A and B are shown apart, each in its own frame.
Chain A
């Protein structure tokens, strides 16, 4: 390859890296100060682009000058910054005290709402923004033509990095940001107006996301899918760089930019996987990212978020459980076909959610990628039936084995980490699994998936299949529940409460977490197998991020500190989705609003609310 080409390709990588950094720096700042993993950061990016394609052309009507273009870009970013402030004031401020996972869920609710708001305001057609006046042309670099605008973008990243450095070291606000990033409690203790600091940080974070989006308009058109496509990439950058580290984000962005620029030459089909492979590799070697520092151990003892006192059923609880089971059993006698379908799904999701809470609530292992094991179970079952012609029974047996085997494989690395990095590694593995299912067309059928995954003849009637699902799902839930009360479950809880203490009484914490991860993966795999046979098909959406988020939403709605709450959450979440989807095209907006409302009204989930009610009675 000639040198000119390599140089230009590297410059392309730098331009992408620069854009990525501007966005990621905002996310990492917000995380550093508020400890909120802000899913809505991608929405701010998208809003930045939409603002810019609205404001900039209007400005250019007056005069096609580069200055007006950049004023428009900055104005767009400022508007988005104000939207960030609005989000802080209206939503985040009310939930700083609730568990971190709830905050995450609330920001996901914002993502859904913004998606539909954008659709409503700007319509479904992509909007191409104007090119930057004065930077439309290409310049020749070693005989290769290269867009002038991208040369300009290459400089934006370092400039933003420099300005952020000045802000962080030369202003009181910036120094407070750094202090809060290092030790959040200290800032509170210093008597700093924390509310103002957080609001300011959200402005800055949203501004940077908006700036990143607005700067993209000469390159890409504003579209309704921008948010989701950017957010995973930005997560990867911040995690590789080390959460909270702006310089780390810069390095990571450079790395990813070059990886993509040259990756397309060597592996044109798997650029997506490359990025996640890089992230997994970095986290395995450097558990806190390139420049991140370990989460400071809590100075004072705090109650963990999760199952606290797993009490066995009392009389009322037993009655409710029996009624629920009875309802499932008599349902086929009364309900119509659709009700049976819905109940079948709820049972499947209940098992998946329960297995996730086994990790999150009981073990303190927050998995962002639980759908991977659900999906891999479904794929194992589906492929055995369709490719090897096995009947349903052995396929259903294979589902938990596959889920468990992959959970064991991925979990081996996952349990070496903790906290947000652990969550991000689970996400990375889930994305890798997703990409493999998506792109290994010969075996998995690619994104089309595989159809024809139907139950054996004896179970093909909806009644029988419902009973089959009920038996498997309730049986597995009861078994997992039993493990929760057994020494193994208690040991996971103990390790969550105090890893140091668990170690000192002779518990091999990693191995236990690994076993727990595997067990939960197996249960999720079984749920996936059951799901595949109820739908008749498998496809990569079963392993996708939205599916993982759905599971998280279910356990959070149900309450992660209760044992049976996740079941309630699965039913409630499914019911909400089922109720709003037929109402309007804008059902995502309603779903997002419902999630946020539930977080605000029941900060401990429905199960927590029930427990509080019982305690009061």
Chain B
């Protein structure tokens, strides 16, 4: 794990030879020789390091690979200026401003938290600069609060919920319980689920809903409340430490026995690894079983990643890698760093990436990058997924008329 952020200013200020050297080295060995194209990458590198550090690592890896192969736009290297967004919209707006004005970045990318992503998106709209929202999951960023300059890469809450709901097709469980963290992501996942589950299983009844505060689940009380409702099936949106506490309590008290569980994001290594041998079996989850992906391009990226960072890739790594591939393709296509040109070129842009082709749907500026849906299983002392399949995002996008209605009202 590289601990130093590589921004030129930071390197100088900290006197950190390491970061400076990596920049110099990057230019010396690459065939790309023109003026670098600087992209401002702001993210929660400090607060959400489990996701964002692998993400940043993969971005560096991808940028280096591209630069070594001649860069973009006829020989110009990609240069990412990584900055912490402070995990708060106020801080992020200032950092974004800094990246655009002082660091001379052509455009912005990144953000993890939805509120930060939305604030930066709105700022980008105000400043008429492109913003590639990579990680924020909120539907709002491409729907009601979508704007001309904001494009999102990662499959949204709606898309991932829909993938799970589709996977439940043919099941017979009618009594469902929902448990979700009490903030926008959890609430909108729950709302999407309630809206969509009827399509897969007619006659579903929601018998319990629990919304523990994010990061503070009182697992005993929550599991007790769910058990009391005697559901046949559970839709879970908890993640991170909340999920671990919930799963442990649920395992001990038999909450998951003979119950069908759909669970968002649980198959991502970020959340699977901390579960360790407590990983429940047989849940249908979205995730990233990186070791099972057979495509050759993907294998090459995994090998390069493991060789360089001595660590297994995470979902963040994949997203970072794909993002850089999409950005490089965008720059080549637009052949300009002008925001208007970039925006026009980005619409319906099809890029080849390690997960296969990814198209940026022009209608809502949401990419068709998908994710894997499968069943959790315990192998040794760690959980993984089986029977997983890559679901292309194009299959689960918001219906076009909904997008039009939402974006019109914005």
Contacts and interface: CB of A to CB of B under 8 A. Distances in A.
A119 B46 contact: yes
A448 B50 CA distance: 22
A449 interface: yes
Nearest to A258: B221
B101 interface: yes
A582 B91 contact: no
A119 B253 contact: no
B312 to A, nearest CB: 11
A584 B5 contact: yes
Interface stretch (A322-330, A337-345, A352-360, A492-500): A337-345
Contact of B102 (A16, A264, A338): A338
B3 A220 contact: no
B200 interface: no
A196 B219 CA distance: 40
Q: How large is the interface on A (under 10, 10 to 19, 20 to 34, 35 or more residues)?
A: 35 or more
Nearest to A138: B252
B115 A541 contact: yes
A9 B224 contact: yes
Contact of B46 (A262, A439, A587): A587
B183 A447 contact: yes
Contacts of A176: none
Given A264-B218, A338-B98, A584 B10 contact: yes
Contacts of A146: 253
Contact of B94 (A120, A261, A341): A341
A541 B90 contact: yes
A587 B3 CA distance: 11
A225 interface: yes
B173 interface: no
Contacts of A138: 252-254
Interface of A is mostly: helix
Contact of A128 (B53, B86, B244, B254): B244
A261 B248 contact: no
A342 B218 CA distance: 41
Contacts of B225: 9, 264-265, 268
Contacts of A223: 240-241, 274
Contacts of A584: 3-5, 10, 14
Nearest to B14: A583
Interface in B91-109: 91, 93-95, 97-98, 100-102
B140 interface: yes
B220 A448 contact: no
B126 A586 contact: no
A141 to B, nearest CB: 11
B248 A116 contact: no
A218 interface: yes
Contacts of B240: 126, 223
Interface of B is mostly: helix
Interface in A220-236: 220-221, 223-226, 229, 233
Nearest to A222: B241
Interface stretch (B207-215, B318-326, B364-372): B207-215
Contacts of A127: 274
A260 B220 CA distance: 10
A94 interface: no
A162 interface: no
Interface in B103-125: 114-115, 118-119, 121-123
A441 interface: yes
B281 interface: no
B224 A12 contact: yes
B49 interface: yes
B252 A448 contact: no
B340 interface: no
Interface string A123-152: 111111001000011100000111101100
Given A226-B241, A338-B102, A441-B187, A537 B119 contact: yes
Contact of B218 (A144, A261, A446, A588): A261
Interface in B220-239: 220-222, 224-225, 227-228
B293 interface: no
B332 interface: no
For B14, B115, B240, the residue with the greatest tally of chain A CB atoms inside 10 Å of its CB is B115
B7 interface: yes
A9 B46 CA distance: 37
Interface string B1-43: 1011101011001100000000000000000000000000000
A447 B184 contact: yes
A168 interface: no
Contact of A581 (B14, B91, B100, B245): B91
A539 interface: yes
Contact of A448 (B115, B210, B213, B244): B115
A44 to B, nearest CB: 18
A248 B4 CA distance: 47
Contacts of A268: 209-211, 225
A12 B115 contact: no
Given A446-B187, A535-B90, A585 B49 contact: yes
B166 interface: no
A452 B89 CA distance: 13
B252 A137 contact: yes
A454 B182 CA distance: 29
Contacts of B115: 447-449, 539-541
A451 B46 contact: no
Contacts of B83: 581-582
Contacts of B145: 451-452
A128 B278 contact: yes
Given A124-B50, A150-B220, A587-B84, 16 more contacts: A9-B225, A125-B50, A128-B275, A128-B276, A145-B254, A147-B253, A221-B241, A226-B241, A336-B102, A342-B94, A535-B123, A578-B94, A581-B84, A582-B5, A582-B13, A585-B3
Shortest 5 CB-CB distances between A and B: which pairs?
A12-B220, A124-B49, A451-B122, A126-B274, A124-B50
